[in-house]
Structure 1
Amino acid sequence: MAKKKTPVNESNLAEGAFTGVDEAENFGDRLARYGQAHARSLAMLEHLRGAPEVEATKTAAGLATCGNYLHFREYFTVGKVRLHNATFCKQHLVCPLCAIRRGAKALGAYLTRWQVIQEQRPDLRPYLITLTVKNGEDLDERQTHLTKSLRKLLDRRRNFNAGVARAPWTELCKAEGAVYTLELTNKGNGWHPHCHMIALA
């Protein structure tokens, strides 16, 4: 295994340097965010331990050790603090800590793509769209309802823009492209699945 080199200037750091999340002055906020996510992970762990399903037991086993330790390194010559080593369960659908890390990686990837698109098509503007369904006690039914509705909306957009006969028009037909993610919350009023989408139009 090749030995990692200590970065000596910003050009040697990973491509995520421009996001600013690894700046030394932001380290306290970053730790607080990770701490809150870890507390929510522990709450999810307690919920899973009460579930009788075998899948829940397997998921809980991974969640039990997630975020037990985080090892950071400070590169003081460039004012960066990087996560060097940690334990993660990589179950972003149930683990808030892993969801934060996955979201940060996705943001870095999409941000560079957005910068390229912005140079080629300065006329496009990003719009935040939130699609949701009514809260309910049955998570599987609510999630299925949201994904089927979203799939129907995207199919209608694709068919209308492709010129399929009698394909209905929707507001989403105006979008040149989009990226979206699904989020599930439960704040005591039942499960609330929703979709956050950034559409370029």
Structure 2
Amino acid sequence: MAKKKTPVCAVNLAEEAHTGVDEAENFGDRLARYGSAHARSLDMLGHLRDVSSVESTKASAGLASCGNYLHFREYFTVGKVRLHNATFCKQHLICPLCAIRRGAKALGAYLARWEVIQKERPDLQPYLLTLTVKNGPDLEERQRHLTRSLKLMMDRRRYFNAGTRGAPYTELCKAEGGVYTLELTNKGKGWHPHCHMIVLAASKPSQSAISAEWHAITGDSMIVDCRPIAGDPSEGFM
């Protein structure tokens, strides 16, 4: 007798229950989003097959079967539709479908941690901080420029807060915790790497002060944005 499979829970597959994505009434939108992502995955697959290398062959093998089927189960008594089984390649850097799922899992983890912090430190507020660097034609050079500049700013915060002699103050010292991600875009005007960061602070960091510090660090970029996250925190984390 075949062993009965336990339905894969949201924590393991999508971590979407808290955002309302698994509500039955949202099922159509969810399928459309997955379908659009799968179409982009097929575009990436076509590109990889045109590139002759060991790495591209290995990556395309997994991408070829990713999202071939999605098995959902409806729990009509609670109005939920959850993913029960599926095929995924888990290559989120090249697969839009897996990127959606990875982002949803990260969102669930961040929000769970934020709820704990809120109870322990109600004085801390979340702020969305965006740091950019000047566009350029060389993706590798621009990304390296961003990551090195970001590391220098984070090091300054760490050294100053640790009381290291001679360490300069940075407005980022106001942040008592945070999480960040890097995004790379190209809208026809060169590569535009930037950092989206959520910082937790008792008082709002000064955007003008961060802009001046960031320009001094990067040498070519002063465009930053710092705004409080109001309303549903999941919107800010997304």
Normalising by structure 1, we get a TM-score of 0.87
Which amino acid in the other structure matches residue 118 of structure 2?
A: Q
> How much does 1:103 deviate?
0.7
Residue 230 of structure 2 corresponds to none
Greater relative contact order (Cα 8 A, min sep 6): structure 1 or 2? 2
Residue type of the alignment partner of 2:141: E
SS in 1 for 2:62: helix
The answer to whether residue 93 in structure 2 is matched with residue 81 in structure 1 is no
Q: Which aligned pairs between 1:1-201 and structure 2 lie closer than 5 A?
A: 3-4=4-5, 16=15, 17-201=17-201
Structure 1 range deviating more: 54-63 or 123-132: 54-63
State the SS of the aligned residue for 1:185: strand
- The Cα offsets for residues 52-96 of structure 1, whole Å up to 9 and x where unpaired, read as 443223222222222122111111111111111111111111211
Gaps of 5+ in 1: 7-12
From the superposition, tell whether residues 49 and 3 of structure 1 become closer, same or farther in structure 2 (CA, over 3 Å). Answer: same
Task: Determine helix, strand or coil for the equivalent of 2:71.
Answer: strand
Number of aligned residue pairs: give it: 196
Q: Match of 2:37, SS?
A: helix
Whole-angstrom distance in 1 between the partners of 2:23 and 2:193:
33
What SS does the aligned partner of 2:173 have? helix
For residue 49 of structure 1, what is the amino acid of its counterpart? Answer: R
- Give, in angstroms, the shift of residue 5 of structure 1: 5.5
The answer to whether the 8 A contact 2:45-2:60 is kept is yes
Residue aligning to 1:9: none
Distance across 1 between alignment mates of 2:10 and 2:143 = 36
When the two structures are superposed, what TM-score results if normalisation uses the length of structure 2? 0.74
Q: Alpha carbons of 1:185 and 1:39: their partners in 2 closer, same or farther (altered >3 Å)?
A: farther
Secondary structure, counterpart of 2:119 in structure 1: helix
Unaligned 5+ segments in structure 2 are: 202-238
* Partner Cα separation in structure 2 for residue 188 and residue 39 of structure 1: 22
